[in-house]
């Protein structure tokens, strides 16, 4: 792991530089004060997603979902559990494809829920369908080794 990591704040979109050894200490955004690697799932829009994919040094696992999707709603608590388990090594976020249909088009989402793992500015893996937390964790760890 490098001496410092770049992390995009999922609240304000600012890119922050965080010392790698301080990652587990709850670093905060220098602009808005939001926690950067707290083990929670953050809702985001397409612009913040694209910025985070391009800039971040940590893997980002994104859940593409919609509020009308029953399996998506059923998986939400499991995704939140996985976020806690994977922190601070992998950050988890979600994007509502109903409110942000451009995200579904941009990332060629054929069905939801759909998980995409990004690392080093590119997509590294996809997983379709609702999954329990253990499968989400295993997928993220297997596809984004440290």
Element (DSSP H or E) covering residue 76: helix 70-86
| 72 catalytic residue (yes or no) | yes
Q: Which of 9, 12, 29, 69 is catalytic?
A: 69
CB 128 within 8 A of CB 76: no
How many residues make up the chain in this entry?
146
| 12 catalytic residue (yes or no) | no
From CA 88, how far away is CA 110, in angstroms rounded? 30
Q: Which of 9, 12, 32, 72 is catalytic?
A: 72
From CA 64, how far away is CA 106, in angstroms rounded? 12
Which residues are the active-site residues?
69, 72
């Amino acid at each position: 792991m490098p001496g410092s990591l770049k992390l995009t704040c999922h609240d304000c979109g600012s890119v922050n530089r965080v010392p790698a050894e301080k990652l587990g200490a709850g670093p905060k955004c220098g602009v808005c004060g939001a926690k950067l690697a707290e083990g929670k799932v953050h809702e985001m829009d397409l612009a913040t997603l694209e910025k985070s994919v391009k800039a971040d040094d940590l893997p980002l696992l994104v859940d593409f979902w919609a509020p009308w999707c029953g399996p998506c709603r059923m998986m939400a608590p499991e995704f939140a559990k996985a976020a806690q388990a994977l922190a601070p090594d992998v950050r988890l976020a979600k994007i509502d494809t109903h409110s942000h249909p451009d995200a579904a088009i941009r990332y060629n989402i054929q069905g939801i829920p759909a998980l995409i793992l990004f690392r080093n500015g590119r997509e590294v893996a996809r997983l379709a369908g609702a999954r329990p937390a253990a499968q989400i964790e295993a997928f993220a760890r297997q596809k984004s080794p440290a």
